[in-house]
Chains A and B, each alone.
Chain A
């Protein structure tokens, strides 16, 4: 290294410039990086969806779109709801204990996986690789389904099966149950999908 004496004014101004430059650099980067965040348009499109469930008949499934995904609302019969507990042994995660924050909000951590026992609200996308399962509500033997099939959904891509609470059967490709989206009831007949914190 050279043996010229250290020029302290040069050094001080170099430090000052570097600090100011770093602050300026970060401040400049912030707007550019933020522009990656979802735009107002995306947020508006992803806004919660209100659904009137009074017209859904027993045994019927209605599909609405929320954040680009299909959400199934099923009005289950009393028999179907009562039968849910019977085949717990055949399910991979009957009590929805796996990754509850991702798949089952607190108000759905029950036997019916829903707030009202008769109304199931699930996102119709198979957690395995993203295909949308087909409705198979008729119980009994059918191609690709066992003879004691209670009714539910069959995913056509890799064969995962789900019961009428959206819970996956054992030894199927999907590791998890069908996700329950955040939702709440604004009234007995008005369901809000996508938000569970509003004061109605």
Chain B
């Protein structure tokens, strides 16, 4: 019997484990090669700091959500008449059901905390820049899928917030000209959010989107390993001219296993402490993780006085609400300025200038004719989509914020504050001051990104070192 290639032979005196390993390695070399490529011989920069734990934590939370989700589905009933009751059944009648439920609800919020911090790390250290643009794009796609997953998952408990939050967000689609109202009915499967909507959201939340998420996460990690990880100093540790040891391994790197496996175990244990403190001692988190209104069964005839999305959507919700007919004036002014700059000041080919002029006129015409409600939806979507373009907006000569002009740090700090303020305002009922502040915040948010090709080039970067900053532990 001939193998398709040479099997590695092993001494008959070898231990049973060694023989088993050899048997497996001969028949499944892919697994063994994968272990080498992605763990024991994947060299990661040795200067990772606190910001670098959030990727592993995101993967952990994904696993937690899937496992707790599997067990919840054993008892949950995706029927408008039974859903709310089935959640209380899990909380009271299923042995340890309350724990599984709290882990899932806390995990949902934890996922967004971790992912926002993970994305912020990318912003700080330029992890999205060449050659890692595709890693960033897969990541943005994961973020979109995660938002869809959370939105659909939130309908399932069928409380007042679940129902009315879904009603409001699906109604947003009706703002799209011509196809909007029919599109909303198509998404819902009914004229209002109903049992039909619940069943299809259940299918998407449990099967479709998790599969998409898993695929994207695998792509995200494989693409990362192909180009190698970035680091807080923003310098490459592999490639021509980079220092290596006598075995050819980068001097500024360490093999992921065992160095970052044990490092991640430490980081994970701290995360689990905070996570468990919330799950066991404060699962409602003051009404932010489990909203009080959601303990009232959904009532299609009674709208709660104050509908707000869950905290992780509120920054974007603020931007949606900020686009009033007054804001449209400011936005049209921005389009005029932008198109004007492109046509009169920028060094571009004549044809391109022509296109900008025409596009500008068309956009302004549309902005004048279509209702602000639609543009609010566009703004909210645009706020997420603009992230995809980041690799091409950042024109700074220095990759990491450590070597950029000092005032960049203040700009990033303001960006963070604006994001938090928008988030806070999104939770409040609308008010005149709140509206003004969110409008300013929205303009800042978009300005930060759209004007980045200009401001990222301002100022003198500091000299970038050849070797990473690392102090022996």
- CB contacts (< 8 Å) of B99 on chain A: these are 31
Query: 1/0 per position for A27-45, CB-CB distance to B under 8 A?
Result: 0001110111101110000
Chain A: minimal CB distance from B455 (Å): 47
List A residues at the B interface (Cβ < 8 Å).
Answer: 17, 30-32, 34-37, 39-41
Q: How many residues of B contact A (CB 8 A)?
A: 14
Interface SS of chain B: helix, strand, loop or mixed?
A: helix
- CB contacts (< 8 Å) of A34 on chain B: these are 95-96
How many angstroms from the CA of A31 to the CA of B96 in the assembled complex?
Answer: 5
* B26-78 with Cβ < 8 A to chain A: 67, 71, 74-75
In addition to A35-B95, A39-B93, A40-B94, 14 A-B residue pairs with Cβ atoms within 8 Å of each other are: A31-B96, A31-B99, A31-B100, A32-B71, A32-B96, A32-B100, A34-B95, A35-B96, A35-B97, A35-B100, A39-B94, A39-B97, A40-B92, A41-B89
Judge whether B71 and A35 touch: CB under 8 Å: yes
> Is the C-beta of B265 less than 8 angstroms from some C-beta in chain A?
yes
- CB contacts (< 8 Å) of A17 on chain B: these are 265
How many angstroms from the CA of A36 to the CA of B96 in the assembled complex?
Answer: 10
| Nearest B residue (CB) for A30 | B96
Chain B: minimal CB distance from A94 (Å): 43
Judge whether A32 and B74 touch: CB under 8 Å: no
- CB contacts (< 8 Å) of B92 on chain A: these are 40
- CB contacts (< 8 Å) of B71 on chain A: these are 32, 35
- CB contacts (< 8 Å) of A37 on chain B: these are 95
Judge whether B93 and A35 touch: CB under 8 Å: no
Judge whether A32 and B67 touch: CB under 8 Å: yes
Query: 1/0 per position for B95-107, CB-CB distance to A under 8 A?
Result: 1110110000000
Judge whether B89 and A39 touch: CB under 8 Å: yes
- Going nearest first, the 8 A-B pairs with the smallest beta carbon separation are A31-B96, A40-B93, A39-B93, A34-B95, A41-B93, A39-B94, A37-B95, A31-B99
- CB contacts (< 8 Å) of B75 on chain A: these are 35, 39
Judge whether B89 and A35 touch: CB under 8 Å: no
Chain B: minimal CB distance from A35 (Å): 5
- CB contacts (< 8 Å) of B67 on chain A: these are 32
Chain A: minimal CB distance from B10 (Å): 15
How many angstroms from the CA of A34 to the CA of B71 in the assembled complex?
Answer: 11
Chain A: minimal CB distance from B176 (Å): 43
Query: What are 12 A-B interface contacts by the 8 Å CB criterion?
Result: A17-B265, A31-B95, A32-B96, A34-B96, A35-B96, A35-B97, A35-B100, A36-B74, A37-B95, A39-B75, A39-B89, A39-B95
How many angstroms from the CA of A32 to the CA of B75 in the assembled complex?
Answer: 13
How many angstroms from the CA of A41 to the CA of B460 in the assembled complex?
Answer: 70
How many angstroms from the CA of A34 to the CA of B89 in the assembled complex?
Answer: 15
Judge whether B94 and A35 touch: CB under 8 Å: yes
- CB contacts (< 8 Å) of A31 on chain B: these are 95-96, 99-100
How many angstroms from the CA of A17 to the CA of B266 in the assembled complex?
Answer: 10
Q: For A35, A37, A40, which residue has the most chain B Cβ atoms within 10 angstroms? A: A35
- CB contacts (< 8 Å) of B95 on chain A: these are 31, 34-35, 37, 39
Chain A: minimal CB distance from B262 (Å): 8
How many angstroms from the CA of A39 to the CA of B89 in the assembled complex?
Answer: 9
